[in-house]
Each structure stands twice: as structure tokens, then as C-alpha cells.
Chain A
Amino acid sequence: MTRYEITPLLQPLLKNRLPQFIIQAIALGGFVFAIIAGLVGTPVGNHNFSIVFVWIGWWALLMLIAVPLFGRAWCSVCPIPLAGEWMQHGALLKPGGKGFGLNLRWHNKFRNIWLQNISFALVALFSAVVLTQPNITSIVLIAFLFVAFAASLIFERRAFCRYLCPVGGFIGLYSQVAPIEVRVKDSAVCAAHTEKSCYIGNAEGYGCPWQVYPGGLSKNTYCGTCMECLRTCPHDNVAIQIRPLGDDLLKPHGRKLDEAFKAFIMLGSAMTYSAVMLGSWGQLKAAAYAVGTSAWALYAITFLVFIFGALPASFFIATSFNRKSFINFAYALIPLGLLAWIAFSLSFVFANASYLLPAISDPFGWGWNLFGTVNFKWTPFLTQVTPTLQVAALIIGLAWSSQVAIQIGEQIKARAQGVIAFCFVITLGMLWLLVG
């Protein structure tokens, strides 16, 4: 398929560590500020920087722009693993420092995304609280920082990003759809290059922090787009390319059960979030919020059974009780899942985006007015067109997923009708929740 290399345009910017470092430093500053705001600021979520900038601002950028268009671009500037990585490297920028850490190998048994599936489900269980209470958001962010730091202290490279991060798991899944990739230009050059500096590292850069050998990279899933391989390759054999949307979905090798389940978890979570947060059922919201009560326990069990049991079981029936078909066809759910999240986010973000302006002037809710925007009234944007945009997103998702299902069916010589019927029912469910 046609690809357009854009490396020459970006190479000076990406080989130099400073631009990336500056963005990372700003992100880290924002991250720490969000933690502080959550801990010391007002408990009213929509007037606190932590809630407004993390769950409205960052979430909108991530789900509506970064993931669909740039895949794992967020991971390349994410502040969470930085402290641990700097400690591992013993340096902020170029290699050369004396690093610190045990550098243990991650256990083979856990070289998959099951732990990320579980960590996402755990956060999702408490989402009604995490998304609305600033101090809880701060505690979750601190926990991310702490676990990432501990993982860097104990394990080699970016173990947290690769195997534990609840956000990284779904970004990786949906990055397969993105129209951008980092790949080697000529695999023969890599085969002949015995030093493998892209994986081992050299004076110009670190060995792949994501534990991926770039010469064998064929999908975006585990490429953190950190650009280290671009810096370490002595043959300039690494390229950033524009490619057709969803190109990775049709690559038959490397399809696995843990990634298949990620597709169900994400699809089921988009439906659950739409029902809880955008629905008109007060009791459901109250149950999701009342952590520790029997109502919450019932909600939690129902959610877990839905994402880990009911959805996969229905899909298993749709794929004629065949394990190979189940795993392969699950990749057809990725476009629908991504567009379901986009449809959900459109409503959530447009309705609440106007909280950003007061929050930037008064991040702690202490009555400040730093930029003169604190009195900007809550104004929902685009409420006339949001439902139409949501319908368009879901129909595109359905058509795209159905098309991928047919193509996967041709690859594995299996019928895709059941999968398309499954996608159709899920689409109707999402449509009913969002515009019904």
C-alpha cells in the first residue's frame, strides 16, 4: 500500500532531544500542577484545574485528535514515566550518565497486556468518583507516578508503559488505526547491521525503551513513538510514514487473546460510560458513584461481567465458537470501538469544554482571576449538531469494522456475517444510548 515518508521534514526536530524534552517538561509541570490542584483546591470538580484539564482538556485532545490521527503520539510526551526513566538513564537528555535501577527483565508470563486490561477495568470501576472528585483524581495520578517510578527502579526500560499503564493499553490498541507509523525503510539493512544499536542503544540514543526491535516492527501497538530508534540508527534507516487508515488491522500475524479482550473491554466501557454519564438514569449514576455500597457492588459486578463475560461470550457465539476466529475477528471491533469513544467524548467534551476558561484563571477555585476569564459562564457548545456528529461517527465505525471483518474473514477463510451482526447490534445500542 502507498506510504509517504515525512521523515525529511521532521528529522531535525526529532533527532534533537530538546523539543521533545520541552514538551515533556511542560506536560510534567501540568501533571504536577493538576495533582496539587486536586489536593489543595476546591472539591467542586468543574471548578478545579485537575478535573477540568485532565478529564475534559486532556481527554478531548487524546480521544478526538491524538489517538485517531497520531496513534501513540501522547506516549512520546507523557510525563508519567519520566522521573523513573531519568533515574534509569542517570541523565535528562543524551546517554552518558550513570543510571540507577535493578534492570530486571519483565517476567515472560506477563509479557502481554492482561495487566493493562485489569488496570483499566479497575480505574473504570471507580470512574464516576475519579472523574468528579479532584482529590481522588490526584490520588490516581500520584499512584500512576509511583507505580511507574517503582517499575523503572525494578525492571528494565519502560515496563510501566509497556505492561501496566491503563491508558497505554487502549492507546496501543487504537493506534493501529492511526494514519502514521514509525518503521524501518529497508529490513535488509537491519538484518545486516549486527550491532542492533536501535535495541541496544549507542552514544546518540537509548535502546528502544518499549522493548521492541524496530527492524521487526510491523504494527503500532507497542511502538511508543519515542524516536530513540531514529536517533540511534547509524544508517538513517528509520522512517516516519503516512499510511492508509487502519493499516495494521489487516496484518494477520501477532493477533492475541489479550489484545482481543482489550477490544471488548474498551467497547463495553464506552457503552457503560454512555449509559452512566450521558443517560437519564439517576439511580445508575448514584450506584456508580457510591463506592463501597451494595448498589456500587452490583454495578461493579454487572460492569465486569459485561466487559469480561457477556460481550466476549456473544462474540464467541458470533464467531461460531471458534477460538481462532474469535481472536482474529476481534480486531475488526477496533474501528467501531474507537469511533464509539469519539461519539461518547463529543457529547461529554462539547457540553463541558467551557469549564476550561474559568479553571485556567482560577485553577484552585480560590477566587483568583489570573487571565480575566473566571466569570465565563458555562456554555455548552454545538448542542444542535452533536447528535448528528455522533451518528456519523458510529455509522462510519460500523461500516469500517464490517469492512475489516470481511477482509479478516477472507484471510482466515471464515464467514464474517456473525461479526457484522454483532457490530450492528453494538452500533444500535450506542446510537440508542447517545441519540435515542
Chain B
Amino acid sequence: MWIALTQSMGLPISRRTSWQLVLLILAALAILFLPTFVTAAPPTERTYRIEARSFEYAPPTIKVNQGDRLTLELASTDVVHGLYIDGYDLNVVADPGQTAKLTFIANQSGSFRFRCSVTCGALHPFMIGKLEVGTNWLWWQAVGFAVLAVVVVFIRPFGFMKPEGS
């Protein structure tokens, strides 16, 4: 059916190439939908204290499970610092010597940068930390697609990838 379909579209694809394409598409779909078939660890309640100072967070990385109810206690040890979480679009600001709290459900899995949201000095735009929620599927999908990209280049299923004149 696949060969008939490609031929009806006027694509000069051989039987072998057709199978390669089918396998590649299946592999790509498997990589894309892999996270759907994996169950996450049960959610729990967690509290982390993050100390902010120019120009770093301590600890720099926070790890939680997907679905956890997370409370971040941001404490600034020098000037006013903020903490904005990419992807979650959440923000909290702490004055020096004060602690500010941010509570939310970590419902999206992945690795999210958090960054200072209040101008705090020269390296302010680069004051960055990391929130890891559950499995970072984007990273694993990226690795899968990187492997697939190399496989595609080696088997060259598409005409434009073949050397001229072949």
C-alpha cells in the first residue's frame, strides 16, 4: 500500500527505500510519544530554601517529581533578587535579609531555567538556576532525534541527499 501510495504521488521510491522511510517515521513517532507511556512517581509536598546572591543561586539545581506541590523559599543574602521560572511563568522577589515564598504544583515535566527577575548587578542577565521536574523528556527526545538524524544521513532515503550523478 505504501509503495502504491508513493507511486501514485509520482515519487520514484524503491521498495527498500519505502521500508526505510516507514521505519524512520515509526522511530520518530516512538521518540515523540515515548513520554506518554511512562508513569511518573507519586506526587508529594516539598519545600526548598534557595539562597540568592550575586550572581548565583544555592543550590543551583532543584529536583522534584512531576505533580509535586513545591514551595520555594527565596532568601536574598545581599541585594534584591528575583526568581522567574521559565515555562511556568512564575515570579517571586526577595528583599535582602527577607524570605519570599512561592508555592505551585510542578505539573510540567522537564528541565526549566530560573533566572533573576530584578536587576541586581553586572551579571544579572546570567544569574540562572535550574528546576528539574521528573524526567527531562525533551533531553531524551533530543538524544533520540540526534541518533535518528545520523541514521538518516547514513542511509540517505531522500534523493537530494545522494551524491550528484548517482
A-side residues, CB < 8 A to B, are 44-47, 128-129, 132-133, 276-283, 285-286, 289, 347-348, 351-352, 378, 380, 383-384, 386-388, 391, 394-395, 398-399, 402-403, 406-407, 410, 420, 424, 427-428, 431-432, 435-436
Contacts and interface: CB of A to CB of B under 8 A. Distances in A.
Given A44-B119, A395-B142, A278 B55 contact: no
Contact of A428 (B115, B136, B143): B143
User: Which 5 A-B pairs have CB atoms at the shortest separation, nearest pair first?
Assistant: A282-B56, A383-B86, A280-B60, A399-B149, A402-B153
Nearest to A277: B126
A46 B115 CA distance: 14
A139 to B, nearest CB: 15
Contacts of A132: 122-126
Contacts of A403: 153, 161
Contacts of B110: 387
B149 A282 contact: no
A380 B125 contact: no
Interface in B127-166: 127-130, 136, 138-139, 141-143, 145-146, 149-150, 152-154, 161, 163
14 contacts: A45-B124, A46-B119, A128-B123, A280-B130, A282-B58, A289-B123, A347-B113, A351-B86, A384-B87, A388-B138, A427-B146, A431-B146, A435-B142, A436-B139
Given A424-B150, A431-B139, A285 B55 contact: yes
B109 interface: no
Contact of A387 (B84, B117, B126, B138): B138
B142 A391 contact: yes
A326 to B, nearest CB: 21
Interface SS of chain B: mixed
A45 B122 contact: yes
B159 to A, nearest CB: 13
Interface SS of chain A: helix
B111 interface: yes
Interface of B: 55-58, 60-61, 84, 86-87, 89, 110-111, 113, 115, 117, 119, 122-130, 136, 138-139, 141-143, 145-146, 149-150, 152-154, 161, 163
Nearest to B108: A384
B111 A395 contact: no
Contacts, number: 121
Contacts of A128: 123, 126
Given A46-B124, A394-B142, 6 more contacts: A128-B123, A128-B126, A378-B119, A398-B149, A399-B153, A436-B111
Contacts of B84: 380
B139 A432 contact: yes
B146 A395 contact: yes
A391 B145 CA distance: 9
A355 B15 CA distance: 55
A281 B113 CA distance: 12
B106 to A, nearest CB: 15
B86 A279 contact: no
B139 A406 contact: no
A398 B145 CA distance: 10
B77 to A, nearest CB: 12
B121 to A, nearest CB: 8
A388 B32 CA distance: 12
A378 B117 contact: yes
Max count, chain A CB within 10 A of own CB: residue among B56, B89, B123: B123
Contact of B125 (A129, A281, A282, A352): A352
Given A402-B150, A436-B139, A285 B145 contact: no
Contacts of B130: 280
B149 A436 contact: no
A276 B55 CA distance: 12
Contacts of B123: 128, 132, 285, 289
A395 B117 contact: no
B122 to A, nearest CB: 4
Contacts of B128: 278-280
A280 B146 contact: no
A70 B99 CA distance: 50
Contacts of A424: 146, 150
Nearest to A283: B56
B129 A46 contact: no
Nearest to A384: B87
A435 B126 CA distance: 16
A285 B126 contact: yes
A47 B125 CA distance: 11
A274 B145 CA distance: 21
A286 B60 CA distance: 14
Contacts of A410: 163
A282 B55 contact: yes
A398 B149 CA distance: 7
B84 to A, nearest CB: 7
Contacts of B145: 391, 395
A387 B136 CA distance: 11
Contacts of B139: 431-432, 435-436
A398 B150 contact: yes
A402 B127 CA distance: 35
